[in-house]
C-alpha cells in the first residue's frame, strides 16, 4: 500500500489509538491525529503554516522562519535547476 503511512501509523488509525513512540521522528504532540505527523498529512493533505504551527506546538512566525531557511538552502544547492 503506497499511502505514505508506516505500518505503525496504520495500526494507530485502525485502533483509533495515539502513538506512544515518542522517539519516532514522525511523533508530534497532537492527539487529535494520533500523535503522528504522517497521519496528520494523510488526513489533511496540504496544510497552511498556521495548521503546521498548531500541530508542532510552535508559533506561526517560527514555522515561517524554518520554511524560509529551508527554501534558501534548496535554492543555494540547486541554483540553476529552476526549483522554486
The model's pLDDT over 36-74, given as tens digits with 9 standing for 90+, comes to 999 999 999 999 999 999 999 999 999 999 999 999 999
Residues 25 and 54 in one domain: no
* Same domain? 39 vs 57: no
Element (H, E) at 35: none
> Is the pTM higher than 0.95?
no
- Above 90 in pLDDT, residue 79? no
User: Running DSSP on this structure, what letter comes out for residue 3?
Assistant: S
Domain count, the chain: 2
Looking at the structure, do residues 76 and 51 belong to the same domain, yes or no? yes
Q: Within 13 Å of residue 41, how many CA atoms lie on the same side as its CB? A: 12
Quick one: 5 and 39 in the same domain?
A: yes
Residues 68 and 40 in one domain: no
Q: Is 42 exposed, middle or buried (0-12, 13-18, 19+ CB in 10 A)?
A: middle
3-47 pLDDT per residue, tens = 889 999 999 999 999 988 899 999 999 999 999 999 999 999 999
Find the domain containing 6 and state its range. 1-46
Q: How far is CA 36 from CA 21, 42, 69, in A?
A: 9, 10, 24
Same domain, 37 and 51: no
Amino acid at each position: 500500500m503506497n499511502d505514505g503511512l508506516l505500518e505503525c501509523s496504520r495500526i494507530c488509525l485502525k485502533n483509533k489509538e495515539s502513538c506512544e513512540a515518542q522517539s519516532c521522528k514522525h511523533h508530534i504532540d497532537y492527539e487529535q491525529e494520533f500523535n503522528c505527523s504522517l497521519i496528520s498529512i494523510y488526513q489533511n493533505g496540504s496544510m497552511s503554516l498556521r495548521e503546521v504551527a498548531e500541530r508542532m506546538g510552535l508559533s506561526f512566525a517560527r514555522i515561517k522562519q524554518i520554511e524560509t531557511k529551508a527554501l534558501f538552502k534548496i535554492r543555494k544547492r540547486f541554483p540553476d535547476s529552476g526549483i522554486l
